[in-house]
Structure 1
Amino acid sequence: MAPRTTPTQRQRRLGAEIRKMRTTAGMSTEYAAGLLGIDRGKISNIESGTRNISPERLRTLATHCECIDERYVAALVDLTAPSKGNWWDEYRGRLSPGLLDIVELEWHASRIQTIQTVHIPGLLQTEDYARSVFTAVLPALSPLEVELRVAHRMGRQQVFHRESPVDYVGYVHEAALRMRFGGRETAKFQLKTLLEASERNNIAVRIVPIELGSFPGAGHALLYAEGSVPQLDTAQLDSAHGPEFMHADLQLAKYRAHLQWMDEKCLSPHASRDFIHVIIREL
């Protein structure tokens, strides 16, 4: 099978974990290739995510790398399963790969936490609110491109409506609540929708009031997706060039600390709902 030309973030992550396992064990590319009965070039392709590895070969490599964490190895084996029949596949070739990587990350996460300072979290946006956000993009998107992004964003909310809905915590700065994307009525309906979502057992909305002052990561939107094991957690940040995905140990430790700060300092879910009610009455 020929190597993939555009591996997904999930496929690249598997390759990165395999490389980390091999190099941590001090195993050379040549040795790994001989162990698995493949040529050296295929090892490089596996580690770049452009070629898959079979579960059997992955377990063989893990054994020889003395990786004894069975939960971690089993989680890596799960990553080898081919991706097919996903609802977001219909957008492949129509939206950027980065947007599809985000929805795949969310879909497979065991828990999601986000920090937003300007927008209502994408997973909790209404259609009109999302449409207003995408209409403000520069360079301007065509009406068709705007509607594609709106439909894709609404589709992401399936993680809350499937058989096993994902657990979610959204830390939202007060400034985001007061931004009137789409005008007064759209903003008011968005806040009411946010309140309704926050009443669900698997969704918590925590407000960062302005009076709290400075906070870590100010100005950056963060999506933190917990994997089936902590080693497979992923932090995603937005940038002008598209989403950036980070999973190095020090990077994850940094963003875990940010989220811990938020958990300790933000308003409780109940107090946050009261706070949102106040802002709605002011609109």
Structure 2
Amino acid sequence: MAVAKVLTIAGSDSGGGAGIQADLKTFQELDTYGMSAITAITAQNTLGVQSIYPVQPEVLREQLESVLSDIGADVVKTGMLVSAEHIQVITEMLSKYAVKQVVIDPVLGSTSGSELTKKEAISELIHTLWPMATVVTPNLIEAARVLSCPPIETVEAMEEATYRLHELGSANVLLKGGHLPGDESVDLLYDGKTLHHFTQKRLNGTSTHGTGCTFASAIAAELAKGSSMYDAVQTAKTFITCSIKEGLAIGEGIGPVFHSAYRRRR
């Protein structure tokens, strides 16, 4: 049977809540075929990230060559990229194999506050990989780092940041407002012409490890199946909302979302 194929390029989370583990779970739940290229091996759990071991750029290149030369990918989704060298390899390989749809989740830090991407890599990301993106999906903290601006704390500031992020070259920007103060969570989608607001009452769940990875991966899966950008985000919002509502009480820190929650409701 034919199936949509999605490749994640990200770090491995030994605790299973984020990174390639979250990505692959999401791809599976949304009926797509998931593949992975690992940028780093982390030792982490619900309490935080204890260690990060980046793979050599050549190892990353070989993984990408193996997957893209044989299987191919309808969509490539990136997460934790660690270094400028990693980003250079990814940019080269996406160009070589003419990947048409790229979802960039600029994972600069973890939910627990650990820094995951080297500072010099951010500039490389903005100037090389960002303009190749079908959509970029930063949260408010990541957006402020990319734009070198003060903390984004209002919807008005989010709107201005969204416009500025779009000027960096991506086709679409999805600015995630989960860190916005207040009783409502607002995400903004901008395609260069229309600004869409996705607003909902803030959830009280405390199991939020892997939310960013899961949200971006759900968008990637839906795009791979042929959905429009708006519809992909809408489905991804439902997917992540269900996953947070039924978040798992695992470990002694920030628990993971439950990726099977969306399928259980259908």
TM-score normalised by length of structure 2: 0.32
Structure showing the higher strand proportion among its residues: 2
Structure showing the higher helix proportion among its residues: 1
Find the structure with the greater CA-based Rg: 1
